Structure 1
Amino acid sequence: MRDALLPRCLVRCAHLLWMSLIAVENCDGKILEKTLEEWVRYKDECFKRIETEPYPSGLFCNRTFDMYACWPDGSPGSLVNVSCPFYLPWFEKVKHGLVSRKCGPDGQWLLLNGSEPWRDHSQCRDEMEAAGEVEGAHQLMVSFKVLYTVGYSLSLLALVLAFLILTVFRKLRCTRNYIHANLFASFGLRAASVIMKDVLLEKLWGKEIFEVSDWETLLSNEVAIGCRVAQVLMQYCILANHYWFLVEAVYLYKLLIGAVFSEKNYYTLYLYLGWGTPVAFVVPWMAAKYLKENKECWAVNENMAYWWIIRIPILLASVFNLLIFMQILKVILAKLRANQKGYADYKLRLAKATLTLIPLFGIHDVVFIFATDEQTTGILRYIKVFATLFLNSFQGFLVAVLYCFANKEVKSEMKKKWQLWKLDHPAVCCTQ
């Protein structure tokens, strides 16, 4: 009976929950991991009963665990009923229901097609009233995953190229471009960490489950180590990305107000702020998860206080960015009005500056500050997930285009390098 398949509803539900887990960067994945833990507890309790209860005399169907329910010894020719297993996520709805198996007159459990055990678990399938919704949600999550995978992959390619351009060409080496390059690096690391996390989660949760050992392997600490490392790296990269937004905002504000300062000294502080600040929050979060919630991929947030160790610095950075953004717009507006050639002209230039700064400062994140995962449900949650995944995944590509590929200084330097290359390789140019 160890080789019996889990009911399709459970496998499908597990895969839907897995897709939900990998679709959102900060999703807690609580339902899936809790279900697996409860399943293991149910299985262990079943095996204890199997080992301790006395055997009846005469002919009977052997007690067994068929990966779905725990069955006692059955009398030949009888229908054996047990309560719906408590590990089901929807157990509260079906706790009075029964699951049944037939014990044949020969003392063997009735099989379906000669191999799979026959079982009637219709009373334990309340969640399948929404089977269409489950399937639809699964397809939606698959679409979301394709969307952000394309976005992060495209962003990663563009960011690597932009980073190389800003660091390789000497005439582009200045504090402003160094800050841009660090922002590109944070975007690139964030994209790479999300992709890596998805690969590990897919390896962990994406395979079909057939035997008891498959579940036990998934829940083992050895398998979860790589997943935990990916979670830690992803949280660090997300924090670093937000704090390099803040560095960009602070630097631009200082330039606009004409503050006199040593760029070299301040650049060192910028490095500490962008790459060092996340460490101050990720390390305590990692310690809290290890000591208090050391479960599977560290995606379970039973105590939300630990999750706020990561959430608070992100919210603070977003709020500071918004405040600086508003101050910068005031400065830009004042300068444009002082030098205006026409009302429509400076309004247009202000709008252009505003739209250009939004992706650089990550201002779109402010929209979802108070729309947390716990407060959004149903259609609103799907809208939030789509908007967040789309903007976050393609933002790196947009920033690389605006602040590198479309930058006049960069295009001018690239053009000069191309002209010099053609002069140094006249034979190649002539053959073209």
Structure 2
Amino acid sequence: MRDAHLFQGALRFVHLLWVGLFSIETCSGKVLEKTFEEWMRYKAECLKKMESDPYPAGLFCNRSFDMYACWPDGTPGTTVNVSCPFYLPWFEKVKHGVVSRRCGADGHWALPNGTEAWRDHSQCKEETDGASEEEGAHQLMVSFKVIYTVGYSLSLLSLILALLILTVFRKLRCTRNYIHANLFASFGLRAVSVIVKDSLLEKLWGKEVLQMSDWEAFLSDEAAIGCRVAQVVMQYCILANHYWFLVEAVYLYKLLIGAVFSEKNYYTLYLYLGWGTPVAFVVPWMVVKYLKENTECWALNENMAYWWIIRIPILLASIINLLIFMQILKVILAKLRASQKGYADYKLRLAKATLTLVPLFGIHEVVFIFATDEQTTGVLRYVKVFFTLFLNSFQGFLVAVLYCFANKEVKYEMKKKWQLWKLDHTALCCTQ
């Protein structure tokens, strides 16, 4: 247990940073795995060296590997210095430092407290500034995680209620509301997939490591199967959510430019577009990840070419939505001008229509459409991450409010249902 604690100290900052970055693409998981691999190589080289080196004559302190550094035979009464272990993630900063041990006059390593060998590894510790920076990044990402968890939870509850309303009231059952219901469902599934994925990651990466064998199990493929499945489901739900944005845009455009289209019901095609299209991209991405990047929870993108399998359909849907959005605004503007309303009035109505359509079409995502992860660093990356997570997590709640709870048709049906219930209740009371 003590040896595991020594090694765990070398990986503490990496593990801490990973826990704070569950849902954001990061290289910290890669650092953790690489550090463990380097430690295994360091240990193997140390054991090989201990076997091959000749033993000195006379009294000496035995060569050993204390799970942190590799120690040669020590001359009694001297301090033995060895270079900082190369597996440390911050090795480049401390490569000229040394870790020290005291060999006692009796030929045994010094035990100041009677149980553990004395060792001074102060020169091999990470710099304070770097540690503080990592702690700051950890706290910031934990705050982001709290925000989007609240957002997705609130969205999920409101979406479930909105779906119940659209399915319970018969007079609300029409193609338009069916499409809204599917969009609500895609938002709900996206929220559930993110929350479940975070829970699995927290369970995996939040484990307490007590023995060295725990590290091997900790980084094994078997331990990551659950979160890999969750990662695939989450990517499908995100894609489905974007393509139901597209369905909403296409349907509204069809209504406004109705003369161009036939009256045929396209609802079946909308179902294929919304739920079927994502499969065409998620399956190839899953196969490529399994064959080429089958590490950890598939959250890392070492080769960004593979990530474009998911990114391209999202960008394509977003661009098409933006174009349709602009065309719809032109049609709305023309109709408002033709309705002989006052200038200020149609401007206000156009602004209202614009703000209403933005969350329905997911237009806000176009703001960061070309600000890819490779291009954003430092403060800009944190700004992008914050706005993306905040808007995406609360968007389901906003859409449920705008297109269900605040909808005049929905409010009318609910009010009528309430009045009928009161009349029935009053009549029941009078007959008793």
Pairing 1:53–2:52 present: yes
Pairing 1:31–2:28 present: yes
| Alignment root-mean-square deviation, CA | 2.3
How big is the shift at 1:135?
2.2
Relative distance call for 1:110 and 1:392 in structure 2 (3 A) is farther
Q: Deviations over 1:83-108 (max 9, x none)?
A: 33333333333333323333344444
Relative distance call for 1:48 and 1:340 in structure 2 (3 A) is same
Name the residue aligned to 1:226: 226
How big is the shift at 1:169?
1.6
Contact 2:197/2:230, CA 8 A, preserved across alignment: yes
Name the residue aligned to 1:122: 122
Name the residue aligned to 1:2: 3
Q: Counterpart of 2:101 in 1: which secondary structure?
A: strand
Name the residue aligned to 2:166: 166
Q: Deviations over 1:366-424 (max 9, x none)?
A: 11111111211111111111111110110000000000010011111111222222233
Pairing 1:11–2:8 present: no
5 Å-filtered alignment, 1:299-338, equals: 299-338=299-338
Relative distance call for 1:385 and 1:132 in structure 2 (3 A) is same
How big is the shift at 1:322?
0.7
Bigger drift between 162-171 and 310-319 goes to: 162-171
* Letter aligned with residue 227 of structure 2: C
Contact 1:16/1:137, CA 8 A, preserved across alignment: yes
Name the residue aligned to 1:176: 176
State the alpha-carbon separation in 2 of the partners of residues 409 and 117 from structure 1.
Answer: 77
Segments of structure 2 that go 5 or more residues without pairing to the other structure are: none
* Letter aligned with residue 40 of structure 1: E
Q: Deviations over 1:147-167 (max 9, x none)?
A: 111000000101111111112
Name the residue aligned to 1:139: 139
5 Å-filtered alignment, 1:385-400, equals: 385-400=385-400
How big is the shift at 1:257?
1.1
State the alpha-carbon separation in 2 of the partners of residues 263 and 93 from structure 1.
Answer: 68
Segments of structure 1 that go 5 or more residues without pairing to the other structure are: none
* Letter aligned with residue 361 of structure 2: F
Q: Counterpart of 1:388 in 2: which secondary structure?
A: helix
State the alpha-carbon separation in 2 of the partners of residues 175 and 333 from structure 1.
Answer: 25
Name the residue aligned to 1:412: 412
Q: Counterpart of 1:102 in 2: which secondary structure?
A: strand
State the alpha-carbon separation in 1 of the partners of residues 349 and 206 from structure 2.
Answer: 50
Relative distance call for 1:85 and 1:267 in structure 2 (3 A) is farther
Q: Deviations over 1:330-386 (max 9, x none)?
A: 011001000032000000000000001000110110111111112111111111111
* Letter aligned with residue 284 of structure 1: P
Contact 1:97/1:124, CA 8 A, preserved across alignment: yes
State the alpha-carbon separation in 2 of the partners of residues 75 and 345 from structure 1.
Answer: 92
Contact 1:187/1:241, CA 8 A, preserved across alignment: yes
State the alpha-carbon separation in 2 of the partners of residues 42 and 73 from structure 1.
Answer: 21
5 Å-filtered alignment, 1:148-159, equals: 148-159=148-159
State the alpha-carbon separation in 2 of the partners of residues 49 and 8 from structure 1.
Answer: 19
Larger Rg: 2
Relative distance call for 1:108 and 1:409 in structure 2 (3 A) is farther
State the alpha-carbon separation in 1 of the partners of residues 13 and 42 from structure 2.
Answer: 25
Relative distance call for 1:94 and 1:344 in structure 2 (3 A) is same
Relative distance call for 1:372 and 1:99 in structure 2 (3 A) is farther
How big is the shift at 1:46?
1.0
State the alpha-carbon separation in 1 of the partners of residues 87 and 300 from structure 2.
Answer: 17
